[in-house]
Amino acid sequence: MKVLLTSGSLNDSEKKGVVMKSFLKLLRRQSGFTLVELMVVVAIIGLLSAVAIPNFKKYQAKSKISEAKLQLSAAYTAEQSFFSDFNMYHACLPYMGFDPGPEFPNRYYAVGFGTTTTVLNSSAYAAAVNSGLDSTANGCNQTTIANVNGSSSVGVRSANNATFFAAGKGTGGQIASTNTDWNAGAGLGSQADSSSMTFTIAAGGAISGDFTTGATSSLLHINQNKVLRNVRNGY
């Protein structure tokens, strides 16, 4: 702001008055936002929120799927290690070294096998026992009922014959706590030959408030060929 003052023509009080008047004139020239402009800004913010918030929720849900992939990958590795020792697959996951039970408070996904009963081939099972497989109740029985829950206590190891590990976290009041609802499609072959030397391990969880039932929630499978399949997004 420039104010031209003639030296000696004005006293100090008059000079201050001239400066003040010039400042007030400058303020009057400044224009503010009109009501229409403010309404347009509010509308744009509302539109951006309507688009961004659902996408952010979807991104949050999608990021949780990495947990299921890690769990299924670890279970697959345990199964293949077991196969290399006994030439068959089984459902006694902690016996193989896969036991996510003690970390259940941190998991959105239930992991393991379904509720079907599998009777392993007698010859294949006998050969595995001869190779050192523990056939007692604390090991891997020939008849496997795939609904033995793993530990739900922090730091407490699951029983060797556990086949299912419930989740401790959920969304929308739903937690993947039962293998009936959250591990659909999982199962174990009879191990009699190459066609039945199979397994499918499932991971299911409620990761979005819009998909909280066992029929709509997130579900992933992995099989003996390390084929990872996203059965349902769940978000």
Top-confidence range, 4-8, 206-210, 229-233: 229-233
The torsion angles phi and psi of 121, rounded to 5 degrees, stand at -55, 130
**C-alpha distances in angstroms, 208 versus 49, 107, 109, 139, 217?**
19, 14, 12, 37, 8
What pLDDT does residue 39 have?
82
Q: How confident is the model at residue 52 (pLDDT cuts 50, 70, 90)?
A: low
The amino acid sitting at 7 is: S
Q: Give residue 23's identity as a one-letter amino acid code.
A: F
- pLDDT for position 27: 59
∠ CA 151-157-161 to the nearest 5 degrees? 70
Q: What is the pTM of this model?
A: 0.76
Angle ∠(82,205,63) on CA atoms, nearest 5: 95
Residue among 69, 130, 114, 118 at smallest CA distance from 90: 118
SS (H, E, C) the chain: CCCCCCCCCCCHHHHHHHHHHHHHHHHHHCCCCCHHHHHHHHHHHHHHHHHHHHHHHHHHHHHHHHHHHHHHHHHHHHHHHHHHHHCCCCCCHHHHCCCCHHHHHHCCEEEECCCCEEECCHHHHHHHHHCCCCCCCCCCCCEEECCCECCCCCCCCCCCCCCEECCCCEECCEECCCHHHHCCCCEECCCCCCCCCCEEEEEEECCECCECCCCCCEEEEEECCCCEEEEECCC
User: Cβ distance 181 to 79 under 8 Å?
Assistant: no
* pLDDT confidence tier of residue 133, bands split at 50, 70 and 90: very high
Quote the CA–CA distance of 92 and 202 in Å, as a whole number. Answer: 14
pLDDT tens-digit readout, 163-185: 999 999 988 788 998 766 788 88
Each residue's pLDDT tens digit, 101-130: 999 999 999 999 976 677 899 999 999 999
Residues listed for the chain: 235
